[in-house]
A and B are shown apart, each in its own frame.
Chain A
Amino acid sequence: MRQLVPGAIRESDEIAKLKEKLFRDIKRSAYVFRVDCGGCNGCEIEIFASISPVFDAERFGIKLVASPRHADVLLYTGAMTRAMRLPAIRTYNATPDPKIVISYGACGCSGGIFHDLYCVWGGTEPVIPVDVYIPGCPPTPEATIYGFALALGLLDQKLKTRHHVEGRTEEVIPAHPRIPLRMRVELEREARCMAGYRYGRIIVERFMRFLESEDTTPFAARLDSYLTKEDDPRLTEIMDRLKEVAMRRGLP
């Protein structure tokens, strides 16, 4: 799937060795040059958010520069489009060795949501050798800082590849055994209608946990005390509607 495109750059062993040295004892600021190969600008906004005073990547010496000739780190954002392939290669060649290349965002890592477009070569990788991948769409400023810390050898990688093989006795039992299926469907539909697909699901799951609970306190009292604690009129409205639905269907 990750085949190389014509004109793809391969790294020589000598440079790889030099780069290891750079990783080990950089002992100074790392200058970053940013290349947008055809993204939606979301990644750029997050990069500038991460050098703002709140996240302040500059306290680690990470500084954006205006020319690839000054850079130690190249930050490629966006899917590798046909038109930006040559400028990307020229930027890579213009940067002095050794250099660290970071793929930023889902599009930089693999082409992201644009991966199968006619004008997209994929991510940064088919054209330029990449050292660190920062996934996200876009990566949050914290994820950006973590990625830079990984690139500069300050933090360790946490994610590892995982493979699950179905066990012999694996079986899935439908959730919420104490709630009638028809009622559950109606509750889920109402919650999604009120709060959208993600938050609706979170809210309805919480509601059904209240319904199923073994607690001896009456259901309505428990729900009320929870809603007073949360103190959110939107949540109260949604939960009230869910309660109406449950009443209509007959509480279990």
Chain B
Amino acid sequence: MLKLLQELVKTGDATTKYPFVPPPAKPGVRGKPEFAGPRCIACAACTIACPANALTMETDAKAGTRTWQLDLGRCIFCARCEEVCPTGAIVLSDNFELSVRNRDDLLMTAEFTLTNCRSCETPFAPAKEVNYVIALLIRAGMPWDEAESRRALFESCPACRRRADVERHCQTTMLPQAEPMR
């Protein structure tokens, strides 16, 4: 009996003090994905990587915007978004106090403006992404003016780019010109 009591005193209280004290820090825990809007280039890599479709992106061509959305109610905290994010805009924190009464409080959204395609004028790529790509080319060793000269290429949509390629090819091979675009 005495031995048991001794053992009990020695072991002490195993129960955690949470929620009366702040939660103990646990390195490596995957909590709420913290999103830094100013660092995001709206490249949509995270929405492709997300296995649960918690991250979605919708393009509103009329308004010329792209809306990014994170639904924490669907997130499985796998950190694939953190893996693929080229700018480190989304990082999993250790915040686990995510319970809500209202479903809409689990949503997080961000809105980005799109640049228009140079030839067909339809909103196409996020302005921030184009600027980031050019900055990355300069970082990779390309001279500033050469990188900037490619801006026209980056700011045209795949369809227009393909068309320009065909036209250039026709000119070099002296084939008849492609029909004008309707």
Contacts and interface: CB of A to CB of B under 8 A. Distances in A.
Given A139-B96, A181-B139, A163 B74 contact: no
A145 to B, nearest CB: 6
B132 A174 contact: yes
Interface stretch (B1-9, B12-20, B145-153, B171-179): B12-20
5 contacts: A154-B19, A162-B108, A172-B131, A174-B136, A201-B83
A198 B92 CA distance: 10
A140 B29 contact: yes
Contact of B38 (A159, A161, A167): A167
A163 B71 CA distance: 12
Sort A-B residue pairs by CB-CB distance and give the 8 closest, nearest first.
A164-B37, A109-B73, A137-B76, A147-B99, A164-B110, A110-B73, A113-B52, A197-B83
B103 interface: yes
A57 B7 CA distance: 24
Nearest to A160: B105
Interface string B97-122: 11111011111111111000000000
A153 to B, nearest CB: 10
A142 B18 contact: yes
B154 interface: no
A245 interface: no
A161 B105 contact: yes
Contact of B128 (A139, A158, A170): A170
Contacts of B93: none
B75 A150 contact: no
A150 B131 CA distance: 44
B88 A175 contact: yes
A137 B132 contact: no
Interface stretch (A9-17, A24-32, A125-133, A213-221): A125-133
B164 interface: no
Name B's interface SS.
Answer: loop
Interface of B: 14-16, 18-19, 23, 28-30, 32, 35, 37-41, 51-54, 71-80, 82-83, 87-89, 92, 96-101, 103-113, 128, 131-132, 135-136, 139-141
Contacts of B105: 157, 159-161
A155 interface: yes
Contact of A145 (B19, B30, B35, B100): B19
B106 A166 contact: no
A163 B132 contact: no
B18 A145 contact: yes
Contacts of A142: 16, 18-19, 23, 96
A232 to B, nearest CB: 12
A139 B97 CA distance: 10
A2 to B, nearest CB: 8
A4 B112 CA distance: 31
A174 B2 CA distance: 66
Contacts of B38: 167, 170, 172
A173 to B, nearest CB: 6
A107 B32 CA distance: 16
A174 B139 contact: yes
B77 A165 contact: no
A173 B113 CA distance: 18
A133 B73 contact: yes
B109 A172 contact: no
Interface stretch (A48-56, A62-70, A83-91, A235-243): A48-56
A157 B106 CA distance: 11
B14 A53 contact: yes
B39 A161 contact: no
B19 to A, nearest CB: 6
Contacts of B18: 55, 142, 145
A39 interface: no
Nearest to A197: B83
